[in-house]
Amino acid sequence: MIDIIVSREGVEDDEPPSSGWIEKVVMETLRAARFEDNAEVSVLLTGDERIHQLNQEYRGKDKPTDVLSFAFEDDQSVKLPPEVPRMLGDVVLSLETIARQAEQNKVTVPRETAWALGHGVLHLLGYDHQTDEEEEEMRALENEMLQTLGEEAMAW
């Protein structure tokens, strides 16, 4: 069982994406990564001001970004009983930055949001893109997730 907690800070409650849409993207990303444990993931939808603060505080970067991930587990070798969910961590998305990037990348805002969310979830699972090999593996999983979602990743 995967528990996905969605919260909003500085964005309207009825502004897309919906919690159901977010859950589909998270679940498909976990499936693409062959993740089968019970787990909990938290997703915060926010704007540039809040993500800028977090990016400054935790990464030393004085600018907004599209997605930040805060993994709760550094050592994924810990084995929990099957009924105990793994606390994967938090993904923070700036809907403002994502909208700008969608325009720059000439894709829909939902598609860019799906990519950013999937990217963040993969970071929670320990994937990274520091080397060419790591980046290639991560991009392949992101693309698999987007392909499987198909039209759902292109529109709310």
What pLDDT tens digit does each residue of the chain (156 aa) get? 899 999 999 998 888 999 999 999 999 999 999 998 889 999 999 999 999 999 999 999 999 999 999 999 765 566 767 677 889 999 999 999 999 999 999 999 999 999 999 999 999 999 999 999 999 999 999 999 999 999 877 788
Task: Name the amino acid, one letter, at 1.
Answer: M
Alpha carbons 35 and 127: distance in angstroms, whole number: 12
Q: What is the CATH number of domain 2-153?
A: 3.40.390.30
55: closest CA among 70, 45, 41, 43?
A: 70
Q: Where are the alpha helices (DSSP H) in 17-152?
A: 19-32, 48-59, 95-105, 109-124, 132-149
The verdict on whether omega for the bond into residue 17 sits within 30 degrees of 0, i.e. cis, is yes
Residue with tokens 């498909």: 28
Structure tokens at 9: 């800070």
pTM for this structure? 0.92
Residues found in the chain:
156
Alpha carbons 62 and 29: distance in angstroms, whole number: 29
Break the chain into its structural domains and give their ranges.
Answer: 2-153
Residue with tokens 């292109």: 154
H-helix or E-strand spanning residue 87: strand 86-94
